A and B are shown apart, each in its own frame.
Chain A
Amino acid sequence: MNKKKETAMFKRPVSSSDFDRNFRSEVVKHPDASGLSTCFSCGACTAGCPIHEVFPEYDPRKLAKMVKLGMRKQVLSSPYIWYCATCHNCEQRCPQNVKFFNVLNVLKNMAAKEGYAPSCWIKQTKQVGKTGIVFSTEEKWVKKREELLLPVLKLEGKDAKKIIELSGINKIKLKVNSE
């Protein structure tokens, strides 16, 4: 984590003339993020977030606010949107039933299209297209399973490749190194 750079980016004064007024509606247009319209920034999400607990600069309320203000570039290029541990505490705590985990996914999808996805997820997707799972068929695992008398894993990934192609995620390319 390049903490210094990130802190600078989040604390720099922002000018309202840089805001993209369409960003908010673009985000809430997606059914998974529609609930964000009802967020009143109470911060219950942040209070219940385990990542915020160990890395206070990761702040779901702040990210939600930034979306609502239209801070498109700052949100989509932020490494923080990829820090969610997917524990669903934010959703569990939210008095407005905002599913912030799903809102983040919408933001991540938009960021990925603009080339900001961390390379780990792109690599993993390629792997799924090959074996159907997020790992390769390493010899040591195959052998270990044999020794333990577990059924042979058949990882041909024949349909996985098609599924990945159908979904179009094989076309997502890394343009900006956000790590």
Chain B
Amino acid sequence: MNKYALFLGCTTPTQVPQYEMSARWICKYFGIELIDVKDFICCGINQVNLSIEAGLLMAAMNLALAEDKKLDILTLCAACTGALLEAVEKLKDQETRDKINNKLQAIGVEYKGNVKVRHISRVFYEDLGIERIKKETKKDLSKLHVAPHYGCHYLKPKSALGGFDEPDNPKTLHQLIFATGAYPVGYETLNLCCGGKVFPVSEDLVDSLVQKKLDDLAGKEIDAMVLQCQTCYLMYSDRQNEVNKKYGKQYNIPIILYPQLLGLALGADPVKNLGLNLHTVSVDKVLEKIA
């Protein structure tokens, strides 16, 4: 199936439009049709803090809207992926589904249990495949050394991912980076969480986590960090300045989203198609290196 309901989430369309731009461009390039569903709401991941049932209800409503259009869901945000996938698992239970559908009646939707949810990188990995991506690349990115960052909910909870990738030793993003011609660099804090989900509660906790990873990367010869979630992006990119001030550091690590890296390899316009001019930490060094 080459047609998906695009689940934008809350943060990408409002604060990281370059992720959305580049994702749409790549999908168009490969003939993956993205359908905008105007009634989609937040995935519910933060609402489980107050009520597990509320979070499930919100996720179920989104699943039902996609199901109604006979579409599977393609996500951009790692956290939305995790939340929706956990809901899919929970709603496999008939009793739970009945209970939720009972409430969803009030807005005239019902979830029958037939929606698959996949993150955009997983769709690239599974549907396009590494070989196809490799064949399409036009620009030489072999000079680029980048640090992959997966995003926790892209890999976990493992029980909801159906055997996709391996949380403790992930490889799909490494391979997707290889496919563009760039080189994924290994580093110790690869699996360290960005802390994004605790940001509203404590900025201090997030800054300590971000600093730890940036400090590890600052000692490596890398040109950028490549990630696949807008929340991780905001933590490492927009918090980088704050962390510099707070810890008296001069980290200057460009943060790039995977579809932007792939776009560069496919010959997309860095500004018009990929929004690489919109970054808080300038990516000019990266562009100069591959010019």
* Partner-B contacts on A (CB < 8 A): 1, 30, 32, 50-51, 53-55, 82-89, 91-92, 99, 101-102, 105-106, 108-109, 112, 117-118, 120-122, 124-125, 128, 132-135, 138, 141, 144-145, 148, 150-151, 153-154, 157-160, 162-164, 166-169, 172, 179
Q: What does DSSP make chain B's interface, helix, strand, loop or mixed?
A: helix
Instruction: Tell me if B41 and A132 are in contact (CB < 8 A).
Output: yes
B50 touches A85 (CB 8 A): no
Q: Is the CB of A89 within 8 A of B38?
A: no
Instruction: Mark the stretch among B120-128, B189-197, B252-260 that contacts chain A.
Output: B189-197
| Bound Cα distance from A51 to B54, whole angstroms | 26
A interface, by DSSP: helix, strand, loop or mixed?
Answer: helix
Complex Cα distance A141/B107, Å?
A: 29
Interface hits, B10-46 → A, CB 8 Å: 10-11, 13-15, 17, 20-21, 24, 36, 38-42, 45-46
Pairwise interchain contact B42-A144, C-beta atoms closer than 8 A: no
Interchain nearest-CB distance for A148 vs B (Å): 5
In the bound complex, do residue B208 and residue A159 qualify as a contact, i.e. CB atoms below 8 Å apart?
Answer: no
- A122 in complex: contacting residue of B10, B13, B17, B50, CB < 8 Å: B50
Please give me the residue from chain B that is nearest to A172 by CB atom. B50
Which of B13, B52, B193 interacts with A105 by CB under 8 Å? B52
A134 close to B46 (CB less than 8 A): yes
A101 near B157 (CB under 8 angstroms)?
Answer: yes
Contact assessment for A150 and B13 in the assembled complex, using a CB-CB cutoff below 8 Å: yes
Q: How many angstroms between the C-alpha atoms of A99 and B156 in the bound complex? A: 11
State the Cβ distance, B232 to closest chain A Cβ, in Å: 11
Q: Is the CB of B198 within 8 A of A51?
A: yes
Report B-chain residues with C-beta under 8 Å of the C-beta of A120. 200-201
Interchain CB contact under 8 A, A105 and B156: no
The CA of A92 and the CA of B169, in the complex, are separated in Å by: 12
Known A87-B152, A92-B168; contact A145-B13, beta-carbon cutoff 8 A:
yes
B57 at the interface (CB under 8 A from A): yes
B202-A83 in contact (CB<8A): yes
Report yes or no: B198 in contact with A106, Cβ–Cβ below 8 A. no
Q: How far is the CA of A97 from the CA of B103 in the complex (A)?
A: 31
Taking the closest CB of chain A, its distance from the CB of B45, in whole angstroms, is 8
Query: In the complex, A65 Cα to B168 Cα: how many Å?
Result: 26
Residue pair B107, A163 in contact (C-beta under 8 Å): yes
- With A85-B193, A167-B54 as known contacts, state yes or no: A121 contacts B200, CB within 8 Å: yes
Complex-state Cα separation, A85 to B36, whole angstroms: 30
B275 at the interface (CB under 8 A from A): yes
A residues less than 8 Å from B42 (CB atoms): 128, 132-134, 160
Identify the 7 closest CB pairs spanning chains A and B, nearest first: A167-B54, A88-B156, A54-B208, A132-B41, A133-B10, A87-B193, A120-B200
Q: Point out the residues of chain B lying under 8 angstroms from A109, CB to CB.
A: 48-52
Instruction: Say whether, besides A85-B193, A91-B156, A125 and B275 are in contact (CB < 8 Å).
Output: no
CB distance from A26 to the nearest CB of B (A): 15
Report whether A162 and B106 are in contact in the complex, using a CB–CB cutoff of 8 Å.
Answer: yes
Bound form: Cα–Cα A86–B38 in Å: 28
Partner pick for B205 among A85, A86, A121, A133, CB 8 A cutoff: A85
Contact A83 B201, beta carbon cutoff 8 Å: yes
Complex: A167 Cα to B42 Cα, angstroms: 14
- CB-CB < 8 A to A134: which residues of B? 10-11, 42, 46
Contact A84 B46 (CB under 8 A): no
Q: Which residues of B contact A141 (CB under 8 A)?
A: 13-15
B157 adjacent to A169 (CB under 8 Å): no
With a CB–CB cut-off of 8 A, which chain A residues contact B41? 128, 132-133, 157, 159-160, 163
B202 touches A128 (CB 8 A): no
